[in-house]
Amino acid sequence: MFWVCRGSSNFISPRYLVESLGRFQLRHVGSSKFISPRYPVESLGRFQLRHAASNSNSICTGTNIGDITIWEVGTRERLVSRNFNVWDVKACSIALQASLANDYTASVNRVMWSPDGALFGVAYSKHIIDAHVGKVSDLGFSHTNRQLCIITCGEDKNIKVWDAVTGNKLYTFEGHEAPVYSVCPHHKENIQFIFSVDINGKIRAWLYDNMGSRVVWDAPGQSCTTMAYSADGTRLFSCGTSEEGESYLTEWNDSEGAIKHVYNGLWKRSVGVVQFDTMKNRFLATGDEFQIKFWDMGDVNILTTTAAAGGLPASPCIRFNKEGILLAVSTRENGIKILANADGLQLLRSIENCAVDNSKEYKT
């Protein structure tokens, strides 16, 4: 099942912890509170700049019981929160109806904002008619022929492309021999394509033409792997974890399917699949070994690590904002910590000061 939603303007006040990541040196500058979604955070959507006049950032979170919440990081406000709810159970497949009868919850596998921040998609662990048979593992957005599309993958070994406005299915890509774990849509010049990775580490590339996969590569360790490009779209990276718990962070030559670099320093006994993210065109970060690890893209050795003042799970969810100045990290106590570099701290303080001024104005 996947869901596309627009935001709301309902406001509830949470609290959060702000720390500094200036030049990757951590120091505590905020309160001892943090955003708390109540249940373990399964996915963090990349921050989106919303309400540009107020210069504020928001983040979308998904939990293991299907709750979706959008938080305004700077003003410490919860914009909107939705529980998992099937609007018309009778319209669902028989398999889903039976599954819901036994357990009316669904874990969030992925949340993702559209490129302009107007929509976000949610991939759930349960399916509905015309989505996937079994869980939806991942999703992404792309502009295909000037049309905003959603790409999904799932337990049924398929990748599907949907019109984000009408919900109509445009393409179905078949060829994986195992459930598909992740997708990475991208374009180079006028060529639009999708990378997909199954749970056995087979990487395939697809064009939007129903002619089958163009390439088949092997991810290191035959691992569950996610892929992402640098901000300028020129460098391709992947991060994955094998069944034995060995994790791999790599850079690829996306024209030849060859591994250019394997980055050192990931745990050999990772718990769960290690998540990673890219910061602009310079840094990589992973949530691994109860901490956050950073690399310069040009150096295979670890640049620095931080435990973010403690309280992180073995493999925390992490996500940079688009500008690369804020980093959200899930905590062991079902919360979210926000790390910021110097520019991020300036942004958060300006938003807080603006909120205080508006509050005084309202009271007078």
Tell me the residue range of the domain where 67 lies: 1-129
Average pLDDT over residues 23-36: 36
Say if residue 204's pLDDT is above 60.
Answer: yes
pLDDT for res 32: 28
Is residue 20 one of the residues assigned to a domain? yes
Tokens 């990748």 locate to 159
Is 348 within a domain? no
pLDDT for residue 108 is more than 70: yes
Residue 94: pLDDT band by 50, 70, 90 thresholds? low
Q: Specify if 161 maps to a domain.
A: no
Classify residue 73: in a domain, yes or no.
yes
The total domain count for the chain is: 1
User: 136: which 2 tokens?
Assistant: 């939806």
Of 16-20, 244-248, 284-288, minimum mean pLDDT range: 16-20
Q: Quote the pLDDT of residue 9.
A: 26
- The stretch 226-236 carries a mean pLDDT of 95
Decide if 76 is inside a domain.
yes
Q: Nearest 5 degrees, angle CA 146-CA 150-CA 151?
A: 115
Average of per-residue pLDDT across 33-61: 53
The token pair at 228 is 């992402």
- The answer, yes or no, to whether residue 84 has pLDDT greater than 50, is yes
Residues facing residue 120 across a β-bridge: 5, 113
Judge whether 299 lies within some domain.
no
Q: What is the mean pLDDT of residues 118-143?
A: 80
Q: What is the pLDDT of residue 281?
A: 92
Whether 125 is covered by a domain: the verdict is yes
Question: What per-residue confidence (pLDDT) applies to 236?
Answer: 97
What band does 45 get if pLDDT is binned at 50, 70 and 90?
A: low
Q: How confident is the model at residue 341 (pLDDT cuts 50, 70, 90)?
A: confident
State the average pLDDT over residues 299-311. 95
Q: Which residues pair with 196 in a beta bridge?
A: 183, 204
The predicted structure's pLDDT at residue 248: 97
Torsion, Cα 164 165 168 169, to 10 degrees, reads -20
> In this model, does residue 29 exceed pLDDT 60?
no
Query: What is the pLDDT averaged over residues 138-155?
Result: 91
Average pLDDT over residues 229-238: 95
Report whether 237 contacts 249 (CB < 8 A). yes
Compute the average pLDDT of residues 203-210: 93
Between these two residues, 132 and 315, which has the higher pLDDT value?
315
Does pLDDT of 33 surpass 50?
no
Report pTM.
Answer: 0.80
Residue 61 lies inside a defined structural domain of this protein: yes
